[in-house]
Structure formats: C-alpha cells, structure tokens
Amino acid sequence: MAIRYIDIKQEVLSANDGLANKLRVRLKEHKTLMINVMSSPGAGKTTLLLDTIQRLREQLRIGVVEADIESMVDAEKIEQSGAMTVQIRTGGDCHIDAPMLKPALDTMNLDSVDLLFLENVGNLVCPAEFDTGATCSIMLLSVPEGDDKVLKYPLMFTVCDLLLVTKTDCQAMFDFDLKKLTTRVHQLNPNMKIIPVSSKTGENMDAWISWLKERREAFIKN
Ligand SMILES: Nc1nc2c(ncn2[C@@H]2O[C@H](COP(=O)(O)OP(=O)(O)OP(=O)(O)O)[C@@H](O)[C@H]2O)c(=O)[nH]1
Ligand SMILES: [Mg+2]
C-alpha cells in the first residue's frame, strides 16, 4: 500500500505567501515601506528603533508593529517616542506571519505612514521562514552572540538584505571576529550588506540611516 504523504508545512507556507504578497501590494499602494526587523532576543532591536525614530522623525512618518509572545514592554517604549505603535501578542508563537500581521495593518491609516517597522519576535529561527509582506528584511546580530551564528542559523542570514552587527562597543570583551563573520555571511548570501553599529556610541548609525533613506527613495521611485 502506498503511503499517503501530507506536507502540512508546505501548505501553511504557501497559504501564508499568498496573503503576504497581497499585503505587499497594499503597502505599495499606500507608499508605505515595511521593514521586517529580526534577531535573537535582546540583540538590540527596540533600542535601534528608538534611536532611528529619534533621528528620522522630522523627515518621515514612522510606524512600528511590535510582536511579542507576551507583554507590551517594547510597545510602551516606542509609543513614548511618538511613533504610531501597534502591539501584536502572539500568545506563544515565536514568529509573525502574514495572517497575524493583517489585523495590525487594518488598524492603521497607512496613508500617514512612510516607514513601517515590524519588530519581529526575538528568535533567529522561525521568523526567517515566514514572508510577512515586508519589502525589506533586516537582521541584527550582537557582538556577545558570537561570529559563528551564521553557521548555526543559516536561513536567517539568507533571507535578509542587511545585517546590522550591534553592540560593537562591547567588542573588547568578546572574541568576536568581524572578518570571519563577513566571510561566512558572504559565502551564504553574497548580496548581504553588513554595517557594524552601536546604539551606545552612535558608531555607524549614519550609515544605517543612509541605507534606510536610499531604500525608501528606491521604493517610491519603482
Ligand atoms: N552595550 C550596548 N548595549 C546595547 C546596545 N543596544 C542595545 N543594548 C542593550 O541590550 C539590551 C537589549 O536591548 P533591546 O533593544 O531590548 O533588544 P531587543 O532585540 O529589542 O530584545 P527583544 O525585543 O526582547 O528581542 C538592553 O539592555 C539594551 O540597553 C548597544 O549598542 N550597546
Ligand atoms: Mg525588543
């Protein structure tokens, strides 16, 4: 007797991709550039976003969708910065997918948001598997996590356009080899741009802001 084989994961992913594409089209119609921000817990996503909002709020209207398993801690901080903020509580899920994001977008007036950040759940594995409808995906890897993470969590490094190596102010305390990391990343994803940054010292924050502005200009033109 032949074995009947049902690939649930493939079905879930293809249903997700259909909705993600619709969300991408909708965001484009409103000229809202959505950026999916991913990393392991504590790599510095919220800190980076707070700094970014501070630097760009006179030039762009910024919104943030915060995704967490529990709590509103990050959303409360972001809301204080004046950015439009929506919290998604995943209730245990360790990633955001398109069906989870849609109700958050439905609550927003996208015509008044130029730049929308999705702070994904802190996790280097699951968020990489799900298209959210974002036009860009970026990731953070902090110096204390180590330069070998690209070998252990390769998918995340494959799906992102930009890697921000965060907490470079801690470099002296860790055996983190930026050259080794860069070689490993480019073996997997030759197009990945890498910017080492520190929210503490402000190192290379200008380069990150320039990258964002270039992305937005290209998004509006195309
Ligand atoms: N030294 C140093 N600490 C940083 C830097 N950026 C963030 N931190 C600290 O790292 C810790 C975690 O930062 P968060 O911004 O909350 O990290 P996160 O990625 O948003 O964390 P989750 O949302 O829980 O996944 C906080 O104590 C920050 O102050 C940095 O550039 N240098
Ligand atoms: Mg956070």
CB 44 within 8 A of CB 203: no
pLDDT tens for the 222 residues of the chain, in order: 889 888 877 877 888 999 999 999 999 999 999 999 999 999 999 999 999 999 999 999 999 999 999 999 999 999 999 999 999 999 999 999 999 999 999 999 999 999 999 999 999 999 999 999 999 999 999 999 999 999 999 999 999 999 999 999 999 999 999 999 999 999 999 999 999 999 999 999 999 999 999 999 999 998
- Per the listing, tokens 């509580």 go with 89
CA distance 183 to 6: 39
Residue bearing the CA closest to ligand 1, atom 12? 42
> How far, in whole angstroms, is CA 213 from its chain's centroid?
16
For ligand 2, the distance from its centroid to the CA atom of residue 67, given in whole angstroms, is 9
Q: Is residue 37 part of a domain?
A: yes
CATH number at residue 117: 3.40.50.300
Q: Is residue 219 part of a domain?
A: no
Q: Report CA(79)–ligand 1 centroid distance (Å).
A: 17
124-162 residue pLDDT tens: 999 999 999 999 999 999 999 999 999 999 999 999 999
Question: Given the structure tokens 């004046």, which residue do they identify?
Answer: 82
What amino acid is encoded at 212 in this protein? L
The answer, yes or no, to whether any atom of ligand 1 lies below 6 A from the CB of 43, is yes
Q: Tell me how many domains the chain contains.
A: 1
Q: What is the residue range of 175's domain?
A: 14-211
